[in-house]
Amino acid sequence: MSKFVRCELIRISRDHNSQADALAKLASTSDMKLPRTITVFRLSTPSIPEDHPINVLIPDPVGESWMTPIMDYLRHGTLPEDKITAQRIRRQAPRYLIINGSLFRRVSESGARKSPKVEHESLRKWSTKVSESGA
């Protein structure tokens, strides 16, 4: 690997890597007397015809989603006319922010762990105060 300019290892979950999972199961459960050779075929033509229909779902960009009222409120301060829905939007909106036109949920920084260095510094300062107080 030292001869590569760059190398990146990415973990792929088992449900997205079923072929490799099947191959690993085959290797671990196969008869030891059989040769450990895996044949790879290179296909000269596609195995699926090119005129084979492919189903693609494209979301309707014009339609509204649950995010639309929240984004309208954050961008323009507009609320739906229904009072109950308006209250709900007003209550939910502070939990979100818009970045480059996309809605993201805010994350509380108070729940984040402090770095070990910060925790160590806090502990050192606390222990110094305790020893100075004579406790």
Q: What is the mean pLDDT of each run of 10 residues along the chain (135 residues)?
A: 72 74 72 68 77 67 81 94 95 91 78 50 50 53
DSSP secondary structure letter of residue 107: -
Place of tokens 């059989």: 34
| Residue 131 to residue 23: CA distance in whole angstroms | 62
What's residue 90's pLDDT? Answer: 95
Residue 78 lies in a domain: yes
What's residue 6's pLDDT? Answer: 78
Total domains in the chain come to 1
Residue 46 lies in a domain: no
Residue 81 lies in a domain: yes
CB contact at 8 A, 72 and 78: yes
What's residue 32's pLDDT? Answer: 66
Find the domain containing 72 and state its range. 67-105
What's residue 127's pLDDT? Answer: 47
Query: Helix crossing, 83-92 with 67-76: angle to 10°?
Result: 70
| Residue 94 to residue 98: CA distance in whole angstroms | 11
